[in-house]
Amino acid sequence: MKHIHLIAPSGASLDIRSPAAGVEALQSLGIEIHNTACFERVDQRFAGSDEQRLADMNELSQVDPEKVVMAIRGGYGLHRLLPNIEWAAIASNIEQGLQICGHSDFTVFQLGLLAQTGAISLAGPMLNFDFASLNDAGVVMPPNNFTWQHFVQAMDARTLDCQVTAPQTYLGSMPQGASSGILWGGNLSILAGLVGTPYLPSVNQTRGGILFLEDVNEHPYRVERMLMQLLDAGILSNQSAILLGGFTAYRLHDHDRGYSLESALKAIRQRLPQHIPILTDLPFGHQPEKLTLPVGAQTNLNYDANGFTIQSRW
Q: How far is the C-alpha of 213 from the C-alpha of 187, rounded, in Å?
A: 6
Average of per-residue pLDDT across 103-132: 97
Let me know: does 214 contact 245? Beta carbons within 8 Å.
yes
Reported confidence tier of residue 136, pLDDT bands at 50, 70, 90: confident
Q: How far is the C-alpha of 120 from the C-alpha of 178, rounded, in Å?
A: 23
Q: How far is the C-alpha of 50 from the C-alpha of 56, rounded, in Å?
A: 10
Give φ, ψ of 24 to 5 degrees.
Answer: -60, -40
| Per-residue model confidence (pLDDT) at position 1 | 87
Q: How far is the C-alpha of 241 from the C-alpha of 96, rounded, in Å?
A: 31
| Per-residue model confidence (pLDDT) at position 139 | 84
- Residue type for position 194: L
Q: How many CA atoms lie within 13 A of 16 on its CB side?
A: 7
Q: How far is the C-alpha of 166 from the C-alpha of 177, rounded, in Å?
A: 16
| Per-residue model confidence (pLDDT) at position 283 | 98
120-152 in b/e burial notation, b at 16+ Cβ within 10 A? Answer: bbbbbbbbbbbbbbeeeeeebeebbeebbebbe
Residues paired with residue 299 on neighbouring β-strands, in sequence order: 181, 312
Q: How far is the C-alpha of 125 from the C-alpha of 145, rounded, in Å?
A: 12
pLDDT in tens, 212-249: 999 999 999 999 999 999 999 999 999 999 999 999 99
| Per-residue model confidence (pLDDT) at position 10 | 98
Q: How far is the C-alpha of 299 from the C-alpha of 184, rounded, in Å?
A: 10
Average of per-residue pLDDT across 152-158: 97
What Å distances lie between residue 259 and 34, 175, 182, 229, CA to CA? 47, 26, 33, 19
- Asked if domains 3-143 and 159-313 share a fold, the reply is no
Let me know: does 133 contact 81? Beta carbons within 8 Å.
no
| Per-residue model confidence (pLDDT) at position 165 | 98
Residues paired with residue 121 on neighbouring β-strands, in sequence order: 295
| Mode of pairing for the β-strands spanning 99-102 and 121-123 | parallel
Give yes or no: 286 in active site. Answer: yes
Which residues have a Cβ under 8 Å from the Cβ of 259 and sit 6 or more positions away? Answer: 220, 221, 252
| Per-residue model confidence (pLDDT) at position 133 | 84
Q: Of 18, 121, 150, 214, which residue is the catalytic one? A: 214
| pLDDT of 141 strictly over 90 | no
Q: How far is the C-alpha of 34 from the C-alpha of 30, rounded, in Å?
A: 13
Q: How far is the C-alpha of 64 from the C-alpha of 90, rounded, in Å?
A: 12
Residues paired with residue 7 on neighbouring β-strands, in sequence order: 71
Q: How far is the C-alpha of 146 from the C-alpha of 136, rounded, in Å?
A: 22
Q: How far is the C-alpha of 282 from the C-alpha of 247, rounded, in Å?
A: 11
| pLDDT of 28 strictly over 90 | yes
Which residues have a Cβ under 8 Å from the Cβ of 3 and sit 6 or more positions away? Answer: 31, 32, 33, 34, 64, 66, 67, 68
Q: Which CATH number describes the domain made up of 159-313?
A: 3.50.30.60
pLDDT in tens, 165-203: 999 999 999 999 999 999 999 999 999 999 999 999 999
pTM above 0.85, yes or no: yes
> Sign (positive/negative) of CA torsion 107, 30, 156, 159?
negative
Residues paired with residue 244 on neighbouring β-strands, in sequence order: 213
Q: Of 10, 18, 104, 240, which residue is the catalytic one? A: 104
Per-domain boundaries in the chain: 3-143, 159-313
Regarding the domain delimited by 3-143, which CATH topology (the fold level of the hierarchy) does it fall under? Answer: Rossmann fold (3.40.50)
| Per-residue model confidence (pLDDT) at position 135 | 82
